[in-house]
Structure formats: structure tokens, C-alpha cells
Amino acid sequence: MKVKSKLRLMDGHCYISSGRTAAFLAQRLVFLVLRLAMLLVILVTFYIFYHILSNGIGVISLEFITAMPRKGMTEGGILPAILGTFYITLITALAAFPVGVFTAIFLNEYARKNMFTRLVRLSIRNLAGVPSIVYGLFGVALFVRALALGTSILSAGLTLGLLTLPVTITASEEALKSVPDSYREGALALGATQWQAIRTNVLPSAVPGIMTGLILGLSRAAGETAPILFTGAAFYLPRLPSSLSSQFMALPYHLFILSTQHHAPDKVRPIAYGTALVLLLLVAAMNMTAIMIRARFRKAAARR
Amino acid sequence: MENSVKIVTEKLNLYYGNFQALKEVNLEVCSGKVTALIGPSGCGKSTFLRSLNRLNDLIDSVRVEGEVRIDGENIYDKSCDVVRLRKKVGMVFQKANPFPKSIYENVAYGPRIHGVRDKKVLDRIVEKSLREAALWEEVKDNLSRSALRLSGGQQQRLCIARVLAVEPEVVLMDEPTSALDPIATQKIEDLIRALKQKFTIVIVTHNMQQAARVSDITAFFLNGEIVEVGNTGLLFTQPVDQRTEDYITGKFG
């Protein structure tokens, strides 16, 4: 042991009688536990992915992702579910992005640090902890009923937008916070208005962080079932949605139906695995995009 | 340029919440001269500097009493246009703060936000400002390069060029060389001496030799008050107040 010999060198006397002291053993034990915890996480993730991949890969074909479901969903593809998820995610992005970013700009750049903003921040943090089924029911009350948007792509997309809002706001605020104050002061000292300073000097540096947060929020929203359950997702639709007020099929809900609500669950099991795989790949692709944006930004920052 | 009074502060009090950072500060700053503010850390000299272009406004807890008149106009008056004020009173910060843009865009930033769109006009302003800041020869072939890749001293001169591009009348400098090596510092000091022909300069510095080298007038701050103001040569050789003498001879600081 290096430590031992060094200690001996310092005053010629050895304090450590044996290499395996209690402290040393405790360290070994803790490292072992840490390593096991990490292995568990990797194992579970890989098992899920392997299980779905091995069971679903056989079903995936061009037809599977481009055809309508047939014969009570026992045959055919899942195109309406893919498109449905795509459409609501788009609405979610359009709703969450401006509201989330503007709220973050207001909180971080304009608002004074007082009771009111502390309350707003507290609410946002609490909003992030609300169960998704509660968002679903709230969506029914607000969008479907009160605003009379009916069960539709719009209602479901907006409900998911609410769900994504806390993540978007928090990520945007963090991104804005990481922009050095000297960029703001430098612009203001040249006679820029606060908005000019934000638009030309703060936002450009914050955009990658904001986009990363938004995409991660969206990828979570795309996999949600409970918020769309009552706000527009349909059990089975033999046609594609025609407008924002149409009902729609969605990947996570379709998966739920096939695995638990179908009259012949064994018969549709391969389709269920295929659906799960498509959803998984979709979410993975979104997360990869977020990672790539961040990496590209880091590289650009390093080049400076 | 005639040496008329450019800035007058009258009974200027400034509070951060309950803490009083400036106490009844009265000072006259003359145009065409370099005024240095010296004093130990936390004595209020930077706060005073930032009250001359109202940059303290950004801090929620700050409260200001008294007057700061620039060309006879009280800048704390409700009718004062802060944007116009900051265009007229530019500022160079302690740490060079180039924006993450090209050299050209850094200098063009000010003119652009004040509405200059014509590319030819912008080109002219950029060249003129970089020449005034003694940086043109070093960067003229690399104007599209990121400003963040310049050396520390070049970055600080770029920040000076950026301020000059909006054609200010007063330039405030907050310890502009405290992060620079002696050679870069000397370049900035040469620049300050050249610029005083055209601009009124107020500089905060920790370095008493620097104050002695570049300034005409020196004000000594202590605990938020001005202890002594005078001709730099006199203040450093024959200080009137005992505290000034103690500070410049290094008894505390």
C-alpha cells in the first residue's frame, strides 16, 4: 500500500499496523454497495429494452408502421397511433414552449425577488409533483368541458402541455441562470433596454438549454397515458384524424388497450410488443436529439 | 476640450437595504480630465461609479438619495431616459466581458441597438472605434473571429472599443486592469491618457501607482465617504487628511 509507505517515510515511524483497518474495510463495503446499485440500474434498463426488442422486432415492418389496424386490431399496422402521438406531441410543444419560456424569462429576468415570485416558484415545483391522472381530469374539466373543445387532439395536447410546463419552465430558468450577468450588464451599459439585452445577448446563449429541457419534457409527455385517457384518445379508430377536433389513437394508450382491454390479448401480444418498441424508439430518438443539441452546444462553447 | 464641470454629485446617499454604502458624497468631475477613485475594498468606490450610469438600478434593494447632475441634468429625475444616459455614460468593467460573438459584432452591438442598420456606416464605426482603442492593427484581418479567443488585454481593449462605438461623453472604468499583466496594463494606461482628450474619464483603481500615473484628480474613499479630493500630484505627496496619508503610505488597505 502506497499510503502506508508514505506515512512511514514522513517520520520514520509506521502508524498503520495492518493494511486492512476497519476504515479500509468500510470503504470496500460502501464501494461494493454503490457498484451493485449502479449494476441494478443498468441491468433493469437493458432487460426492459432487450425484452421489448426481442419480442417486438419480428412484428416491425414497413406495413406495421404505415398501415391501419384491421380486424379488431388483431392485424394490420399502427399508423393512426403513431400519427396521433405525433400530433398531440406537436400541440404539446406549441403550447408548452412559449408559455414555459416566457414564464421563465419573466421569473428570471424581470420579476423582483419577493413573496409573490417565491409563491410562483413554489407552485411550479408542486405542479411537477401532481400525478398525471389529475392532469387528465383537470383537462376534462377545463379543455373538454369549460372551453368546449370536446375530446380531441387539441384538448389532449393542451393537457399534456400543462403537464410539461413545470419541466419546461424549470429547464428554461436554469438555462437563463447559467448565462453570465456580465452579458446583461455589458449590454445595458451600452444603452440597451432590458428586452434588447435579453433578446440579443441572453436568449442566444440560453436556447440550447431551453431546447434540451423542452425535448426531455416532450419525450415524457409522449409516453403518458392517463392525461389523454379522457381528453381525446380513442379505443379504436379505423381512420386517421382529420382535424384538431378529431379523436385519435395514441401509442401508449394503444399499448394499454392491447395488453389489458382486448378481447383476445394473446392474439395481439406481438402487436403490443411492436407498439411498445415503436414508442420506446420514438422516446429514445427524442432524448438522443436533446443530447445532441447539448453536445453540439458544448463543442461550440469549447471552440471559443 | 475646455475643462468644465461635467458631473456633479450632491449629497449622494446610497443604501443596499439597511446598509448605507455611500454617505453624503459630493464630487465634481471635470471634462477632459481623468478622475481616479481610490480606497480600500468595500469603501463604496465601485458603487459610486455605478451610480453615475444608474447601473445600480438593477439591484432590487438599492435606494438612492441626493442628486447626480450630468451637464446640469439630474439623472435620478423621473424624466431621465436611462437608455440615453447609458449611451452618453459608457462603462468598462473589472473583468473584460466580451459577448460570445465575433470581434466585429461586439463593436457593432451598441450602434445596432441604437438603430444603425447601414453596413457601410457600421464598418466605419467598427474601424474607428477599434483604432481609438488601439486594437485595430492587431485584429483587422480577423474581425469575424470570436471575441472570446482574444487575450485578456485585447478583450479589455475590445470592451473599450465597444463603449467608444456608441460615442459616449463619459467613460467609467471599474478597475479595468486588475486582471491583466503589466504589459497589457501599460497598453490600457496609454490608452486612457490618449482618450482623455475626447472623453471625461472616471476610473476606479486598487493600484495607487496606477492612479498616480494616469489621473489628474484623485478622490480617496473610506467607508462610503470621500475623505479627500485633490490634484493627483498633491494628494499623493502632501495629503491633508491623516487617513489619506495612512492609506497611501500603506498603513492599511
Q: Indicate if A84 and A20 belong to the same structural domain.
A: no
CB-based contact A182 B93, cutoff 8 Å: yes
Task: Using CA coordinates, name the residue in chain B closest to A203.
Answer: B100
CATH number at residue A229: 1.10.3720.10
Kindly list the distances between the CA atom of residue B128 and the CA atoms of A27, B98, B197, in Å, as whole numbers in the listed order. 65, 18, 16
Kindly list the distances between the CA atom of residue B13 and the CA atoms of A73, B20, B22, B228, in Å, as whole numbers in the listed order. 78, 7, 5, 17
Give pLDDT, residue B1. Answer: 46
Q: Indicate if A25 and A154 belong to the same structural domain.
A: no
Q: Indicate if A203 and A154 belong to the same structural domain.
A: yes
Question: With a CB-CB cutoff of 8 Å, which residues 107-136 of chain A face chain B?
Answer: 112-113
Q: Indicate if A148 and A48 belong to the same structural domain.
A: no
Does residue A39 belong to any structural domain of this protein?
A: yes
Domains in chain B: ranges and CATH: 5-97+168-248 (3.40.50.300)
Give pLDDT, residue A303. Answer: 55
Given A188, A191, A304, which is nearest B114 (Cβ)? A191
Give pLDDT, residue B172. Answer: 96
Task: Using CA coordinates, name the residue in chain A closest to B58.
Answer: A185
Given A186, A193, A200, which is nearest B97 (Cβ)? A186
Give pLDDT, residue B232. Answer: 94
Q: Indicate if A219 and A274 belong to the same structural domain.
A: yes
Given A180, A182, A193, which is nearest B83 (Cβ)? A193
Q: Indicate if A33 and A128 belong to the same structural domain.
A: no
Residue B2 has pLDDT above 70, yes or no: no
The alpha-carbon gap from B150 to the nearest alpha carbon of chain A, in Å, equals: 10
Give pLDDT, residue A243. Answer: 84
Q: Indicate if A217 and A243 belong to the same structural domain.
A: yes
> Rounded to whole angstroms, how far apart are CA atoms B86 and B97?
17
Given A112, A113, A304, which is nearest B148 (Cβ)? A304
pLDDT tens sequence across B185-199: 999 999 999 999 899
* Cβ atoms of B86 and B54 closer than 8 Å: yes
Band (pLDDT 50/70/90 cuts) for residue B250 is confident
Does residue A42 belong to any structural domain of this protein?
A: yes
Of A41, A56, A71, the position where a domain reaches its end is: A56
In whole numbers, what is the pLDDT of chain B averaged over residues? 92
ipTM rounded to 2 decimals: 0.90
Give the 3-state secondary structure of residue B46.
helix
User: Domain range holding A39?
Assistant: 7-56
Interface test with B, best of A190, A194, A207 (most B CBs within 10 A): A190
Does residue A198 belong to any structural domain of this protein?
A: yes
- Set of chain A residues whose Cβ sits within 8 Å of the Cβ of B159: 186
Q: Indicate if A149 and A16 belong to the same structural domain.
A: no
Residue A288 near chain B (CB below 8 Å) = no
A&B contacts, CB < 8 Å: 66
Please identify every stretch of chain A with a pLDDT value under 70, giving residue numbers as ranges.
1-20, 301-304
Q: Indicate if A40 and A72 belong to the same structural domain.
A: no
Give pLDDT, residue A1. Answer: 43
Q: Indicate if A87 and A12 belong to the same structural domain.
A: no
Does residue A116 belong to any structural domain of this protein?
A: yes
CB-based contact B113 A190, cutoff 8 Å: yes
pLDDT tens sequence across B19-62: 999 999 999 999 989 999 999 988 999 999 999 999 998 888 89
Q: Indicate if A200 and A113 belong to the same structural domain.
A: yes
Q: Indicate if A25 and A103 belong to the same structural domain.
A: no
The alpha-carbon gap from B83 to the nearest alpha carbon of chain A, in Å, equals: 4
Number of domains in chain A: 2
